[in-house]
Amino acid sequence: MAAIQGDSIAGLGPAPASAVADEAGLVARSARGETAAFRTLTERHLTSIVAIARRMLRDDAEAEDVAQETFLRLWRAGATLDVGPAGVKPWLRRVVSNLCIDRVRGAKRLTVTDEVPEVPDPPRQLAGLESREMQRRVDQALGQLPERQRLALTLFHYEGLSQVEVGAAMGISDEAVESLLGRARRQLKVDLKAEWQALLMDNGN
């Protein structure tokens, strides 16, 4: 096994006929304990999994912890993992989604906050500061969404998943995804009304 574990990624064998077959092969090889295959899978999906965790948790260190736990679960799952036709990505999304929701709920239980909702600042003249302030406001508004709404919006809007994929990742129906997305955007329109109006005026709407 030591010799196999020392295989380089280039030594993983001939290029498979399709990405799906490749993914299934990598998962199978990872299940047999081949670290090179596991590394390839991790490299392939790490960015998107970290991105989901970052959007959800809004904290780089926490996001990395969650991403690490997600991939370690893939490693530990071994042969018990049943890879579907879409590869391992839906499974990873589901795991990271659940871990993020658990963290957010745990943080809500543990954190006592004395923050006062901020009143939007008057428009600034400096474009850079304005942009940074806009980012902060959007980030803040996203952070105030209920965790499931935030997760649905993160997966759909920021990660580009389809409605069906979001449902699969969250373990809910298409109708439930529709409802979460609608409520999330309606809430954001309320929270970001001033910014949105300013943007509309700037663009002549």
Partner 1 sequence: MTTDNRLGDTTSGGDFEALDRALETYGADRTRWPLEVRHALSHLMATSPEAQRRLRQAGMFDRLLDQAPVASAAASAAARAALLERIMVAATHQPRLVHAPAEAPRTRVTPAIGWREHGFAAAALAASLVFGVIAGQTTALGPVAVALVTGVSAGSGGAEQQLAATDEAEGLLDEDLL
Residue 53 interacting with partner 1 (CB under 8 A)? no
Distance in angstroms (rounded) separating the CA atoms of residues 55 and 159: 10
- Residue 35 CB, nearest distance to partner 1 (Å)? 7
169-174-163 Cα angle (round to 5): 60
Under the criterion CB under 8 A, does residue 170 sit at the interface with partner 1? no
Nearer to partner 1, 80 or 125 (CB): 80
CA angle 46, 29, 53 (to 5 degrees): 15
Cα 83 from Cα 90, distance rounded (Å): 9
Phi, psi of 88 (to 5 degrees): -90, -10
Phi, psi of 124 (to 5 degrees): -100, 160
Distance of CA 172 to the CA centre of its chain: 16
Binding mask 3-42 for partner 1 (x = CB under 8 A): -------------------------x--xxx-x--xx--x
Count of Cβ atoms closer than 10 Å to residue 161 Cβ: 23
Name the residue nearer to partner 1 (CB basis): 91 or 156: 156
CA distances to 1, 5, 12 from 39, rounded to whole Å, are: 16, 11, 11
Q: Helix axis angle, 163-170 relative to 174-191, nearest 10°?
A: 100
Binding mask 55-94 for partner 1 (x = CB under 8 A): x----x---x--xx--xx--xxxxxx--------------
Enumerate residues 134-153 that contact partner 1 by CB under 8 A.
134-136, 138-139, 142, 153
Among 148, 156, 167, 169, binds partner 1 (CB under 8 A): 156
Q: In this complex, which beta carbon is closest to partner 1, that of residue 84 or of residue 182?
A: 182
Residues within the interface to partner 1 (CB under 8 A) = 28, 31-33, 35, 38-39, 42-43, 46-47, 50-51, 54-55, 60, 64, 67-68, 71-72, 75-80, 131, 134-136, 138-139, 142, 153, 156-158, 162-163, 175, 178, 181-182, 185-186, 188-189, 192, 195-196, 199-200, 203, 205
